[in-house]
Structure 1
Amino acid sequence: MNVLDRRNAVIVFLAFAFAYFFSAVLRAVTATLAPTLTQEFALNARDLGLLAGGFFLGFAATQLPLGTWLDRYGPRKVILSFVFIAVAGCIAFAAAGNFAMLMAARVLCGVGVSACLMAPLTGFRRWLEPAAQLRANSWMLMTGSLGMVASTLPVQWLLPLWGWRPVFVLLAVGLALASLVLVWRVPGWEVGHVPGGAPPSYAQVWRHPYFRRMSLIGFFNYGGMIAIQSLWAGPWMVRVAGYEPLKAATGLFAINVCMLGTFWTWGMLNPMLQRRGLHTDRLITWGLPISLLVLASIIVAGPSAGAAAWALFCVSSTFVSLAQPAVGMAFPSALAGRALSAYNLVIFAGVFIVQWGIGLLVDGFAALGWGQVDAFRGAMAMFLAANTLGYAWFLRGSRDNRTDIRPAAT
């Protein structure tokens, strides 16, 4: 393992964070643009959920080959190849004239930024010490939250001046600049070896009990948190709580500022918590039920639940974000790309299913004669049931396997 010194570690982190910032803006911008796109393209809830989920569909589709390529060719080569696809996707979205073109461009954008988090996390597994990996992961997510903040009020302010299409041209330019920074600052890569000489494969990942244990909370709880943050919090505020579009964008801004602060705090606390024996599994066991209680309260409150309630839900769900670096550290560094990408596939498949599924449920309940508010509450009740199932599976794994996973041999 080639551990970077502090100065170079900071420089490499910032280079990756610059690209991940634009990736996060691109991921979340549909929540802000939802009223505009709904009006211009006559979208229903199902179409809106599919459009937002299309990003995550493209994202998830690349994860398995991405993991193999990261282990083989290293983060720098892989992320550069993918960022150029994202630039093309942004330009295509800006030029789209119908829903089919929007959907295709959105999938292309998802493919293009699919390495923007996995590449740095794979590199950090080899370049940083375990405590620093947890901090770097949380601060990468903080950078993502900063990008999601930028996707709310700043984008809403630009719409009357520019319209939504130039926003995507600006994102294409930002991603192109990020690729130049990555070429300049990210180190090269040497192929690693799995202890014992076994050739690396996804079978070693899928069979691992810790990976299986974390699978459902990754799919439903983590994926669901992203689905809410990047889409459904916005339509809930407009169609259930009665917010105007600008007020909803302000609410999304507040949610993402809260997430930014939360991930910064996790980055500060994680090394200290690890030293005191408070490892990932224990923190998830204690913390994740808070998000279930908050979600249940939102469903009961209905129109009274606005931005503050959804901010509390998203913040309380961040305990599950600790699972991702823990999964990476459960495997040798030569398998890190595959392990992290496989888990990311689980997460973003969950985002796609939850985003589209909530839209299907809202339309389905409405077709049964339910009012708009009750249709949303019913959809969120099904989401709560799925989250509870994920947490129960995690607890079952806690009984069957050892409580805390320590970093595997490099």
Structure 2
Amino acid sequence: MNVLSRRTAVVVFLAFAFCYFFSAILRAVTATLAPTLTAEFALSAQDLGLLAGGFFFGFAATQLPLGTWLDHHGPKKVVLAFVAIAVGGCLAFAAADGFWSLLAARVLCGVGVSACLMAPLTGYRRWLDGPGQLRANSWMLMTGSLGMVASTLPVQWLLPVMGWRPIFVGLAVLLGVASLVLAWRVPGWEVGEHHGEPPSYAQVWRHPYFRRMAPIGFFHYGGMIAVQSLWAGPWMVRVSGWEPLQAATGLFAINISMLVTFWTWGMLNPLLARRGLGTDRMIAWGLPLSLATMAGIVVAGPAAAAASWALFCVTSTFVSLAQPAVGMAFPSALAGRALSAYNLVIFAGVFTVQWGVGLLVDGFQALGVAEVDAFRGAFAVFLVCIVASYAWFLRGSRDNPAEPAAR
């Protein structure tokens, strides 16, 4: 393992974080723009869910080839190529004149930023030691939360001043600047030597630890992102009866909570590792809090607003520990494939939950169910799914044998 010096590691982290910040704004801005886009394009709940999910469809569609390219070409070359696509997607979204052109542009944006987290995590697998990987992962997610914070109230304030189309033009420019920073500061990549079986996705898919972690990645991690990046906003407006500016303020609070939580995880992870508290035990102890919170939201209905959704998202961050743990369960030559495969699972879950909730809401309403109860019913179905995924996780062995901290 080629471990970077502390100074170099900080510079590389900041270069990747700068890019990931803007990709997170692009990912989450749909929640803030939902009332505006719904009014301008007459979107149904199903349309809105598909529009938001289209981003994650494009994101997920690239993950398998992305993993191979990352292992072979390295983070720097891959992320620069992909960010160029994101710039084009932003400009296409700004020029869209209907739902289908909006959807196509969102898919293109999803493709473009799909390397913005996997590229650094692949690099960290080779460049940092185990505790350093856990800390860097949490702080990358913290950077993403900072981007989501920027996608809420700041975007809401800019809307009456400049409109949503110039906002996307601005994002295109900022992503272009971020790519220049990456080209300047990120190290190159040498393909490592392989011994035994050539690296392939078959080794990833059949690994028992990957299979154990896949359902919670799909339903719970994916569901947390689906809530944070879309459904918390419409719930606050259509179930709790908040005004769009109030909902944007609520999303701001949710994302601030996530930012602080991921910063805390980054501080605690090395300490927990030294004390032998492995990832799997932390997930097993922490996720019941999230399950109980979601059950409370379904029961409370209109009384559940920003604070309840913030608590659900914060308690769901235990599952974020799974991503670096999966990466460490494989040799560095397979890190890109393993991380991208798990990311595919997560973002396939985001797409499924975002669109699925919209389908369920529209479906329940078509059966004559009131809108508030339709939302509650849709999230009751989601609760069943995350409970089942947690039960599957508990069926596996208690610890990841490849994670030193869990021994």
Structure 1 and Structure 2 fold alike (TM over 0.5)? yes
1:197, CA displacement in angstroms? 2.7
Equivalence for 1:405: 402
Q: Does 1:130 align with 2:130?
A: yes
> Contact conserved, 1:133 with 1:325, CA < 8 A, in 2?
yes
CA deviation string 1:138-173 (max 9, x = no partner): 000000000000000000000000010011001001
Distance 1:375 1:332 in 2: 46
Per-residue CA deviations over 1:45-95 (Å, capped at 9, x if unaligned) read 000000000000000000000000000000000000000000000000000
Look up the equivalent residue of 1:319 and give its one-letter code.
Answer: F
- Secondary structure (helix, strand or coil) at the match of 2:53 reads helix
Taking only the aligned residue pairs, the percentage that are identical comes to 80
Task: Please name the residue that 1:361 is paired with.
Answer: 360
Instruction: Identify the residue that residue 88 of structure 1 maps to in structure 2.
Output: 88
- Listed one character per residue, the Cα deviations across residues 342-361 of structure 1 (whole Å, up to 9, x for unaligned) are 00000000000000000000
1:198 to partner: Cα distance: 1.9
What is the match of residue 237 of structure 1? 236
1:404 CA drift (Å): 4.8
Contact map agreement 2:329 2:400 (CA 8 A) in 1: no
Please say if residues 19 and 175 of structure 1, whose CA atoms lie closer than 8 Å, have aligned partners that are also in contact. yes
Question: What number of residue pairs does the alignment pair up?
Answer: 405
Q: Please state how far the C-alpha of 1:363 moved relative to its aligned partner.
A: 0.2
**Are 1:40 and 2:37 an aligned pair?**
no
For 1:351, the aligned partner's letter is V
Matched with 2:372 is 373
2:215 corresponds to which residue?
A: 216
Deviation at 1:384, TM superposition (A): 0.2
What SS does the corresponding residue of 1:366 show, helix, strand or coil? helix
1:322 aligns with 2:321: yes
Aligned to 1:76: 76
Structure 1 contact 282–403 (Cα < 8 Å) conserved: no
What SS does the aligned partner of 1:189 have?
Answer: coil
4+ residue segments displaced more than 3 Å: 402-405
**C-alpha distance in 2 between matches for 1:398 and 1:126:** 27
**Superimposed CA distance per residue, residues 258-314 of structure 1 (whole angstroms, 9 cap, x where no aligned partner):** 000000000000000000010100000000110000000000000000100000000
Asked whether the 8 Å contact 1:282–1:404 carries over to 2, the reply is no
1:403 Cα deviation after fit? 5.0
**Which position in structure 2 is the counterpart of 1:106?**
106
Q: Which residue of 2 aligns with 1:54?
A: 54
CA distance in 1, matches of 2:389, 2:120: 27
Distance 1:303 1:12 in 2: 45
Q: Secondary structure at the match of 2:396?
A: helix
- Contact 1:324–1:343 (CA under 8 A) maintained in structure 2: yes
Inter-partner Cα distance in structure 2 for 1:288 and 1:347 = 16
- In 2, Cα distance between the equivalents of 1:381 and 1:398? 29
Indicate conservation of the 8 Å contact 1:331/1:407, yes or no: no
Q: Is the 8 A contact 1:91 1:172 kept in 2?
A: yes
SS at match of 1:169: helix
Q: Which residue is equivalent to 1:276?
A: 275
**1:298 partner letter:** I
In the alignment, the residues of structure 2 paired with residue 185 and residue 67 of structure 1 have an alpha-carbon distance, to the nearest angstrom, of 22
Q: Unaligned regions of 5+ residues in structure 2, if any?
A: none
Once the two structures are superposed, what CA deviation does each residue of 1:151-206 show, in whole Å capped at 9, x if it has no partner? 00000000000010011001001100000000000000011234x33210000000
Query: Residue deviations 1:371-409, cap 9 Å, x none?
Result: 01000000000000000011011001136xx5553269x
Q: Please name the residue that 2:296 is paired with.
A: 297
1:188 corresponds to: 188
In 1, distance between residues paired with 2:400 and 2:236?
A: 39
TM-score by length of 1: 0.98
Change (3 A) 1:398 1:76: same
Please tell me whether residue 158 in structure 1 is matched to residue 167 in structure 2.
no
Q: Structure 2: how far apart are the matches of 1:404 and 1:284? A: 15
Structure 1: gaps spanning 5 or more residues = none
SS at match of 1:377: helix
Contact 1:152 1:252 survives alignment (8 Å): yes
Take 2:342 and 2:402, find their aligned partners in 1: how far apart are those partners?
A: 16
Q: Give the whole-Å Cα distance in 1 for the aligned partners of 2:34 and 2:64.
A: 30
Q: What residue is the counterpart of 2:386 in the other structure? A: 387
Retained in 1: the 8 A contact 2:91–2:169?
A: yes
Aligned 8 A contact 1:86 1:172 in 2: yes
Are the equivalent residues in 2 in contact too, given 1:58–1:107 (CA < 8 A)?
yes
Cα distance in 2 for partners of 1:233, 1:385 equals: 18
User: Equivalents in 2 of 1:158, 1:208: separation in Å?
Assistant: 47
Counterparts of 1:34 and 1:130, CA distance in 2: 40
> Is the 1:292–1:384 contact (alpha carbons within 8 Å) kept by the matching residues of 2?
yes
Cα displacement (A) at 1:210: 0.4
Does structure 2 retain, via aligned residues, the 8 Å contact 1:29–1:148? yes
Name the CA distance, whole Å, in 2 between partners of 1:386 and 1:396.
Answer: 16
**Matches of 2:75 and 2:313, distance apart in 1:** 29
Q: Supply the distance in 2 between the matched residues of 1:173 and 1:393 (Cα, whole angstroms).
A: 44
Contact kept? 1:75, 1:119, Cα under 8 Å: yes
Match of residue 178 from structure 1: 178
Residue identity matched to 2:329: A
Is 1:16–1:182's contact at 8 Å kept on the other side of the alignment? yes
Asked if structure 2 preserves the Cα contact closer than 8 Å seen for 1:279 and 1:404, the reply is no
TM-fit CA distance, 1:253:
0.1
In structure 1, what is the equivalent of residue 145 of structure 2? 145
